Amino acid sequence: MAQDSVDLSCDYQFWMQKLSVWEQASTLGTQQDTCVHLARFQEFLRKMYEALKEMDSNTIFERFPTIDQLLAKACWNPFILAYDESQKILIWCLCCLINKEPQNSRQSKLNSWVQGVLSHILSALRFDKEVALFTQGLGYAPIDYYPGLLKNMVLSLASELRENHLNGFNTQRRMTPERLASLSRVCVPLITLPDVDPLVEALLVCHGHEPQEILQPEFFEAINEAILLKKISLPMSAVVCLWLRHLPSLEKAMLHLFEKLISSERNCLRRIECFIKDSLLPQAACHPAIFRVVDEMFRCALLETDGAPEIIATIQVFTQCFLEALEKENKQLRFALKTYFPYTSPSLAMVLLQDPQDVPRGRWLQTLKHISELLREAVEDQTHGSRGGPLESWFLFIHFGGWAEMVAEQLLRSAAEPPAALLWLLAFYYSPHDGRQQRAQTMMAYVVAPCRRGDLQPCGQRHSPAPPRWPETGHHM
């Protein structure tokens, strides 16, 4: 081991001198010398990386005070960068120099410098004259050659990350958490480069085995911002990983949706549907953990807006988009309904999940009576205001606006005395906070006064009942 250390130090001095010579001269002889020695230089870089990855940044500079100069000279040499394997090793060496948590301005400046050098390596805008002449001599134009070079290098890194993920329990082949953290940090300024997408995706889906998240928050924030602004397009699996691993990003995606709905001059159900589908939230919500966060934010929005009809309409449209996405992902539910609606009866959720239009007309009244029985049992057998009580059941009911529409339609069509089960559903929809006696009085009022439809006109399509009266201040869902 000591001999290896001495050999590396000797090699270091040799290559430092070589790089200085190559930097100062641009003659044909210098270029030929670079090509002749390139294989040996790559071997030296591999040994250097194996040594660097075992040290922290301070130890690296104690042993190799000019390591930043050596790497910089290599990174700005077009003949060295012409080989994607050299690029890959240089990137890993540079990542070793980064301080995970910089303690002073010197370390922060070093981090910024490393990011700048990495941007130079990966930026397609920088393509030196020598490399252009080299590729043209091989019959390739720079515009054809460089994208392929960058693509191969990124795919190589992504492949290594996937291998690291699959062999996570093999400690000899595992990538250290520090290396993953460093790589996520240096990717931040490169997020919107299309050719870097495979690397970004590989980092998102590569889960470590540490108790805490090892990728940098700035990495997640940059990706989320790029997704929201449509600057990048990632597979849904990667988006789900992002929102599962970084809750602030999911919350920001929901707030972004609300902002779009608020800023739009005129919202109808069709426009709301377009906004919701464009947000990717219904597709991501097929994962129960994301669904529960999104659903809770809708609940908070209802509380903050005193049950605004726009929020209720948005919840109902979102639920429909979510069910469509769930059906496309898998004809059979991958997760039990209880995971999506943990505080309600599975049998009630199963009935409400049906599309009312799929129920034969002759069974409408029977189905509505069954829903009324299940809701009434859940509501009147629970303590008022409890987590699984009336308001929780009402929150579930308003997700499925089609059933409320059907109640209103059946009552309007009823020539004889309206069925008590439908009157109870309507009274519960409008006043979920009422007690049993108050609700009975409301049902009697509906018998005396004719039922009315609400005013919501969704783009000339379906009609919805007017929004329910929100509970008094102090009631929580």
pLDDT single digits (tens) 7-30: 788 889 999 999 988 877 667 777
Where b means 16+ CB within 10 Å and e means fewer, 88-110 reads bbbbbbbbbbbbeeeeeeebeeb
Ranges of each domain in the chain: 1-122, 252-448
Q: What is the spatial distance between Cα 424 and Cα 444, in angstroms, rounded to a whole number? A: 10
Distance CA 116, CA 118 (A): 5
pLDDT class for 385, splitting at 50, 70, 90? Answer: very low
The predicted structure's pLDDT at residue 141: 57
pLDDT at 216: 87
CB pairs under 8 A, 24+ apart, for 60-66? 60/96, 60/97, 64/12, 66/16
Cα 303 to Cα 297: distance, rounded to the nearest angstrom: 10
The SS3 of residue 262 is helix
Joined together, the tokens standing for residue 193 give: 């480069």
pLDDT band at 459; cut points 50, 70, 90:
very low
Q: For the full predicted model, state whether its pTM sits above 0.85.
A: no
Single-letter code of the amino acid located at 226: A
DSSP string across 17-79: HHHHHHHH--SHHHHHHHHHHHHHHHHHHHHHHHHHTTS-HHHHHHH-TTHHHHHHHHHT-HH
Q: What mean pLDDT value characterizes the chain? A: 78
- 243 pLDDT above the threshold of 90: yes
Closest CA to 419 of 354, 361, 364: 364
Q: Is 419 helix (H, G, I), strand (E, B) or coil?
A: coil
Q: Which residue has the higher pLDDT, 151 or 385?
A: 151
Higher pLDDT: 222 or 436? It is 222
DSSP H helical segments within 187-340, as ranges? Answer: 197-205, 217-228, 236-245, 247-263, 269-278, 281-284, 288-304, 309-329, 337-340
- Per the CB < 8 A criterion, the answer to whether 121 and 91 are in contact is yes
Question: Does residue 267 or residue 146 have the better pLDDT?
Answer: 267
pLDDT, mean of residues 221-227: 94
The yes-or-no verdict on residue 350 having pLDDT over 80 is yes
What pLDDT, on a 0 to 100 scale, did the predictor assign at position 104?
86
DSSP 368-385: HHHHHHHHHHHHHTS-TT
Query: Is the dihedral angle over the CA atoms 191, 197, 199, 203 positive or is it negative?
Result: positive
Cα dist from 463 to 267, 269, 306, 407, 453, whole Å: 15, 10, 22, 12, 8
Q: What is the pLDDT of residues 71-127, one digit of tens each?
A: 999 988 877 876 667 888 888 898 888 887 788 888 888 888 988 888 777 663 344
pLDDT of residue 386 exceeding 50 = no
**Four-residue CA torsion sign, 352, 355, 357, 363:** negative
Q: Report the pLDDT value the prediction gives residue 165, as an integer from 0 to 100.
A: 56
Per the model's pLDDT, the better-predicted residue between 264 and 48 turns out to be: 48
The CA distance from 459 to 21, in Å, is 73
Question: What sign results for the dihedral spanned by CA atoms 234, 238, 240, 246?
Answer: negative
Could you tell me the sign of the dihedral formed by the alpha carbons of 152, 155, 157, 163, in that order?
negative
Which amino acid is located at 397 in the chain?
Answer: F
Burial class from Cβ neighbours inside 10 Å (0-12, 13-18, 19+) for residue 377 reads middle
Compute the average pLDDT of residues 380-394.
Answer: 64
CA distance 466 to 301: 18
